[in-house]
Amino acid sequence: MKPMLPQSFQTSALSEVCVPTAAGRLSARVIRPAIVTAARPLIVLHGISRNAERLAELFRPEAERSGRLIVVPHFDAARWTHFQRPCRAARPDQALIGLIEHLAAAHPELDGAVDLFGHSGGAQLAHRTAMLYPQRFGTLHLAAAGWYCLPDTRMPYPYGLGTRATDPAAAAWLRRKRATLAAYLGRETHIYVGTDDTARDPALRKTRPLDRVQGRTRRDRAHAYRAAFEDAARAAGITPRVTLTELPGCAHDVEQAIATAGLAARVVRGRDS
């Protein structure tokens, strides 16, 4: 059954921008409610379908109900062949930070920490960017990531923070992520995955080590990441603030999760249903 949502009592303005950053141009849709509340702005990251326009449509009613400023970047295929994680081929993390800094001139709410949501490939980018720049983000919302960078050394980078002796180029990434790990583990983090997100489809990364440590499906890997996050936080003397919500009847489909399980409402307004 589709969740019942409260009526919106305001409107919003939708603008489109394309911003030059040090890592390349990045476009975005900005949803600004007529009355903006003190709640942190929210950045919404798409997955490999690159459905930023549709996500803006789906999150806009929640912006109007909550009064939250929402930004939906679009990593277009022409400029951003690789966007799910920072690597030598592309720096989507730098582009995202550059976009936020540019928009802050017109939207001062973006000067402080922002909340971050990502679905699928967007969830991969979200948690990896937050690991590099934990001070820039408040609450993290990670939905149905295909795989994770575990906050421990059980797997070599980029699957975890273990050293890969055959890849010296990973050393710089490891130093940065290890240096900011405690701050990252202090973030409030919410993980979401559909109860039916169990297909080993072509988009899902599959390797024997990954399957063994993180699990064979997105659902398995979400549970593995929560457990790893909790263990790493406690080992660092930090009380973990991480939850995992299974979305009933949902497969790997963000529109289904929003329509039938109220995912956008859960993210924007912290609703449980």
What domains can be seen in the chain, in order of their start residue? 12-269 (3.40.50.1820)
Look up residue 50 and give its two tokens: 């690159």
- pLDDT for the residue 7: 59
Residue 218, pLDDT score: 99
Mean of pLDDT over the chain: 94
- Alpha helix segments (H runs only) across the chain: 52-66, 92-103, 121-132, 170-179, 181-185, 208-214, 218-235, 254-261, 263-269
Res 171: pLDDT: 85
Q: What is the pLDDT, as a whole number, of residue 224?
A: 98
What stretches in the chain show pLDDT beneath 50? 1-5, 273
Q: Considering Cα of 12, then 254, then 52, then 42, what sign does the dihedral take?
A: positive
My answer on whether omega of the bond before 158 falls inside 30° of 0, hence cis, is yes
DSSP 108: G
Express each pLDDT in 214-241 by its tens digit: 999 999 999 999 999 999 999 999 999 9
The predicted pLDDT at position 197 comes to 99
Q: What is the pLDDT of residue 30?
A: 99
DSSP class of 271: -
Q: What is the pLDDT of residue 66?
A: 96
